[in-house]
Amino acid sequence: MPLYPTPHINAAPEDFSETVLMPGDPLRAKFIAENYLTDAVCINKVRGALAYTGYYKCKKISVMASGMGIPSMGIYSYELYNIFGVKRIMRIGSAGAIRSDIKVRDIVIAMGACTTSSFATQYNLPGSFAPICSYEMLKACTENAEKLGIRYHVGNILTSDTFYTDTAGLTDENLPSSAWGRMNVTAIEMETAALYMTAARAGCEALAICTVSDHLLTGETTSAEERQNSFTDMITLALDTGAELIDD
């Protein structure tokens, strides 16, 4: 068992809740801690991956930035599960919609995560692996979304290894996003598959909740400031769900 602190997290297991919310952006973690948690304490600043622990509805909750992309999420989720004793991680991030029925600022809850990454090769499986979320977390999340009256979609998401993709010479019909959309994939982001695979290997739980920040079909988008501060429905949904799942 690796020792703590690690090269990436300068904290002890007791500093974390059993449930950690993980936005990609450190400033979003800071925003949540300052605006939603009581008695929040910053427990990590290494590499700017800000982490806080405080209380929400009297339940101890942690929030920590994952950074961008599969490698970063893979590192932090592995350490939280295997070294710091975290039981469940909820990714709260942004995604680009690739279905016409999904609108900007809608919430996508990832039941499964397709990927363009080779992350799963490390497990030496004799076939392909289908990364999926925790059913308990998914059920609690959808029930809370109904209570809050939030517009949401449940389905497959695509975790991509690239943000900028070379599509020179391709027609709209032949774009990678169009191919995934034809398979009824909801949206594209860059972290969920790694989180789901790491959780599966650790015997822990995970769920990704993403607000649609832009639309690959319509071109509609949101600003960086809006993504940082205005995704309040997603934050409230994640906190309500996380608090509900914590044992008293």
pTM: 0.93
pLDDT digits (tens, 9 = 90+) for 107-138: 999 999 999 999 999 999 999 999 999 999 99
Mean pLDDT of 213-226: 82
CB atoms within 10 A of CB 228: 16
**pLDDT value of position 242:** 97
- Please pick, among 15, 172, 214, 240, the residue that the annotation labels catalytic: 214
Catalytic: 214? yes
**pLDDT value of position 1:** 57
**pLDDT value of position 210:** 97
Q: Which of 65-69, 88-92, 176-180, 206-210 has the lowest mean pLDDT?
A: 176-180
In the 8-state DSSP scheme, what is residue 150?
-
How far is 29 from 21, CA to CA, in rounded Å?
8
Is residue 238 over pLDDT 80? yes
The amino acid that residue 112 corresponds to is G
Question: Who wins on pLDDT, 80 or 221?
Answer: 80
Look up residue 45 and give its two tokens: 């600043």
